[in-house]
Amino acid sequence: MQIFHNPNYNFVKYRWHALVVSWVLILAGLVMIWTTGIPLGVEFSGGTQVVLQFDQQRPSIDQVRTALDKHFPGGGQNVVVQTYGTEVQREILVRVPHTGKESGTELTRTADEIQAAVRAGGLGAFKVAGTEVVGPVVGQELASKGTWAFLLSLFFILLYLWFRFELSFAVGATVATLHDILITMALLMFFRYEMSLNIIAALLTMTGYSTNDTIVIFDRVRENLRGMRRDNIKDIVNVAVNQTLNRTIITGGTALLSVIALYFFGGEVLRGFAFTMIVGIITGTYSSVFIAAAIVTFWRHGKGGARIVAASAAMPAAQRPTTTARQRKGSRNGARAS
């Protein structure tokens, strides 16, 4: 399937514009994290979360909060009450930041007290649609493991790409992955999604997706470095991005359609995961084209020309792929445009 026929876009020309847009988004996200903090789900903050599904009409948030103020031990202060799911589902989520003792029946005591308080408020019959109880020790352990999982994944990505390609490619892919994580975190903060295990899983998934997309482009850059040894590194990268453009758009587009469907039809539990994946796929594709490739051009710009020629000239002639006339024409056009 061909969406673009003989594409010859000058992506490298806009690398500075892309970097400015990315930095604006990242800085805005960091400022928001600094001022408001990261909203943590019950998995990381610890606490008790109960989802109540009412048989008839869903009560208002104020009614539930009033019932908790009157009947919940210690009052309803610091209790989070919010609607959950659609109006048809008639669900209310109640979360308190503490639990009972992390053992035996004491673990569910707070959940039972929430139900008793809402029932005492006379808000109608309901059933418990879901309960999560996480003690502070478990929450801290999950947060620590999630952080280490992310850092180790970046470290092994760096090692793998350094081994398979070279350091400039490894640094480009790692910075692009960090860029994707920061952009996604910024948008999660703008829309006030809570950091949960689902979102951590989505962040790790998009890390792999973004790296795979970057590797496809880098692989083509490496091939072109051998065949286009007399061309500028910016032209070589441009040709590589254009050569993989159809594959990038088709792969990213189909994955994006899948997670959009998951966002709208996957239910409240999967909405944060789907949102993270939507942002991750878009930023992963964008960073592969504009960020990772741009870093390779920066890295090689000062010392790359002679180094590329020398490396290519040292290769056996049989291993040098020939450059097509169309590639050279595209490269020359790209150079004039930049």
Structural tokens at position 267:
């239910």
pLDDT score for 128 = 86
pLDDT score for 98 = 64
Question: pTM surpassing 0.85?
Answer: no
More confident residue, 25 or 266: 25
Query: What integer is the mean pLDDT of 58-78?
Result: 81
Q: 154-173, pLDDT tens digit by residue?
A: 888 888 888 887 888 888 88
Query: What integer is the mean pLDDT of 47-51?
Result: 85
pLDDT score for 335 = 41
Ranked by mean pLDDT, which of 174-188, 222-236, 308-322 comes out on top?
A: 174-188
H or E stretch at 51: strand 47-54
Q: Pick from 212, 197, 189: which is nearest to 279 by CA?
A: 189
Q: Which residue has the tokens 């649609």?
A: 129
Query: What integer is the mean pLDDT of 245-267?
Result: 88
Look over the chain and give the mean of its residue pLDDT values, rounded to a whole number: 79
% pLDDT > 70, the chain:
84
Q: 107-136, pLDDT tens digit by residue?
A: 677 888 888 888 888 888 888 888 887 776
Question: Which residue type occupies 32?
Answer: M
- Distance between CA atoms of 16 and 224, rounded to whole angstroms? 23
- Distance between CA atoms of 223 and 245, rounded to whole angstroms? 16
Asked whether the predicted pLDDT for residue 87 surpasses 50, the reply is yes
Asked whether the predicted pLDDT for residue 243 surpasses 70, the reply is yes
pLDDT score for 107 = 64
More confident residue, 72 or 181: 181
pLDDT band at 331 (very low <50, low <70, confident <90, very high): very low
Q: 29-42, pLDDT tens digit by residue?
A: 899 889 988 888 77
Residue partners of 95: CB distance under 8 A and separation at least 6: 42, 47, 48, 49, 50, 79, 80, 81
pLDDT band at 310 (very low <50, low <70, confident <90, very high): very low
Q: 207-241, pLDDT tens digit by residue?
A: 888 888 888 888 888 888 887 777 788 888 888 88
More confident residue, 312 or 180: 180
Asked whether the predicted pLDDT for residue 316 surpasses 60, the reply is no
DSSP string, 145-212: HHHHHHHHHHHHHHHHHHHHS-HHHHHHHHHHHHHHHHHHHHHHHHTT--B-HHHHHHHHHHHHHHHH
Three-state SS for 257-302 is: HHHHHHHHHCCHHHHHHHHHHHHHHHHHHHHHHHHHHHHHHHHHHC
Question: Which residue type occupies 21?
Answer: V
Asked whether the predicted pLDDT for residue 68 surpasses 90, the reply is no
